[in-house]
Amino acid sequence: MANYTKEGCFLIAEGGQSGEELYIFMQAKKNHPELPRIIYDGRDHAIFLRNSEQKIILDYIHPEIRDKLRKAFQVMVVETILDNIKETYPVEIEIVDNIPLDWNKAGLGTWEEVFLSESKPA
C-alpha cells in the first residue's frame, strides 16, 4: 500500500445530454496521465491508475452512484485547479470481482462505518 495515495475528496457527477455520462472531478495532479484506468469492484473504494507511478485510491465512493459506476465502461476525469479545469480525459473502467488490496492497511473502512457513525448523535 506504500505506493498508493488516497484522493480524500472528489466528486462523481452525472452529466451529458441524457445524464448517463459520468464525470469524476478531482484536484489537478502533476504530470499528464498515461493510459489511465480505474479498477472497481462495485464496493466502497476504487483504484485510479493515472500513470505508471500514480496509483490513487478513490476512497469512500457514495453508495448511490456505485451501481452506475459499476456499469460504466468509461468515465471522464476532470482535474481542476480551484474552479478552473486543468485537463479532462476519458478513463476506462475495469470491473473486477474483488480488488485484491487490504483496505485496513490503508486506514480505510467501509462507507457506512465512517459516515453513518459520524451522523449518529453523541
The residues of the shown chain that bind other proteins, judged by CB under 8 A, are 6-17, 19, 21, 23, 25, 27, 58-62, 64-65, 76, 78, 80, 82-85, 88, 108, 111, 114-115, 118-119
Q: Quick one: 19 or 96, whose CB is closer to other proteins?
A: 19
Query: Contact, 36 vs 55, CB < 8 A?
Result: no
Q: Considering the complex, what minimum distance in angstroms separates the CB of residue 114 from other proteins?
A: 6
Q: Considering the complex, what minimum distance in angstroms separates the CB of residue 12 from other proteins?
A: 5
Q: Quick one: 8 or 105, whose CB is closer to other proteins?
A: 8
Q: Considering the complex, what minimum distance in angstroms separates the CB of residue 17 from other proteins?
A: 5
Residue type, 116: L
Q: Which residues pair with 87 in a beta bridge?
A: 79
Q: How many CB atoms lie within 10 A of CB 40?
A: 22
Q: Which three cell numbers stand for residue 40?
A: 472497481
Query: Contact, 25 vs 81, CB < 8 A?
Result: no
Q: Quick one: 35 or 63, whose CB is closer to other proteins?
A: 63
Greatest pairwise CA separation for the chain in angstroms? 46
Q: Considering the complex, what minimum distance in angstroms separates the CB of residue 116 from other proteins?
A: 8
